Structure 1
Amino acid sequence: MNKRTETRENIHFRLLCLLDENPEMSQRDLAREVGISTGSANSFLRELIESGAVKREKFGTSNDRRRYTYLVTSKGKAEKTSSAQNVLARKVKDFEALRDEIIVIASKLKNITN
């Protein structure tokens, strides 16, 4: 999996987690939480809606056409679970590489100071 695909999966995962907890979050708030632009949040949400992972509904009785509720579907929950496993596997791999690098640096530092 290339970095771009990993980044996309990470963003989808974070959006699905946020929406599962708070379906009324605005695109602006989602963008802020994930660390992306509002335009990017809109694009990623559109991808999730088109894939069937998220369903968009009008927010309550609001007359504001910009307000929606984003509901995570059963397909979205399955994607969130799969993404969580992939993200965790990548984080563990990153952690192990960092741990190995720390061991090497600590060993070199020990040799310098002795």
Structure 2
Amino acid sequence: MVGQRSEAQEDLRFRVLRLLQENPEMSQRDIAAAVGISVGGVHYCLNALVEKGMVKLGNFSAANDKRRYAYILTPKGLTEKAALTSRFLKRKMEEYEALKKEIETLQTEVNLGADMASGSRQ
């Protein structure tokens, strides 16, 4: 269970860093909607990323509301995102291969069942 929780947290960090790299001025509400967690969860994640030196806060100068922040990836954050991307991709490829094998097995079972059913009708 600890491994799955750690993977889930790592996936969250990966998704948040990826979103912020593409769009640093995203609000916490927008990030929460994009990754499917609560605004409080995003707030906690962003605070952790700031504390670890992976993201720095800057004022989003184009916003009318000067309380809005831009979340900018630091060099450390970019390095971490690259490492997270590699691990995420490896994990997803393993999941894909396992799923592909399961689909092949199920297709074989369905085909055998169809062959048996059509053989019993003749």
One-letter identity of the residue aligned with 1:31: A
1:104 aligns with 2:108: no
Which segments of 5 or more consecutive residues in structure 2 lack a partner in the other structure? 116-122
| Secondary structure, aligned partner of 1:57 | strand
C-alpha separation in 2, matches of 1:94 and 1:113? 28
Q: CA deviation at 1:111?
A: 1.0
Alignment correspondent of 1:92 = 93
d(CA) in 2 for partners of 1:88, 1:47: 23
CA distance in 1, matches of 2:77, 2:67: 22
Give CA-to-partner distance per residue, 1:29-60, whole Å, 9 cap, x none: 01111111100000000110011100012222
Aligned-partner SS, 1:56:
strand
Tell me which residue corresponds to 2:21: 20
* Cα distance in 1, alignment partners of residues 27 and 43 from structure 2: 10
Compute the displacement of 1:63 (Å): 7.8
Mark the runs of 5 or more structure 1 residues left unpaired by the alignment: none
Task: Provide the residue aligned with 2:12 in structure 1.
Answer: 11
Structure 1 residue 62: deviation in Å?
6.0
In 2, Cα distance between the equivalents of 1:16 and 1:62? 21
SS in 1 for 2:58: strand
Distance (Å, rounded) in 2 between the aligned partners of 1:52 and 1:65: 23
* Distance of 1:111 and 1:69 partners within structure 2: 57
Q: 1:112 to 1:56 in 2, by over 3 A?
A: same
SS in 1 for 2:24: coil
Q: How is 1:34-53 mapped onto 2 (pairs within 5 angstroms)?
A: 34-53=35-54
Question: What is the TM-score normalised by the length of structure 1?
Answer: 0.93
1:80 corresponds in structure 2 to 81
Q: Which residue of 2 aligns with 1:29?
A: 30
Q: Distance in 1 between matches of 2:79 and 2:95?
A: 24
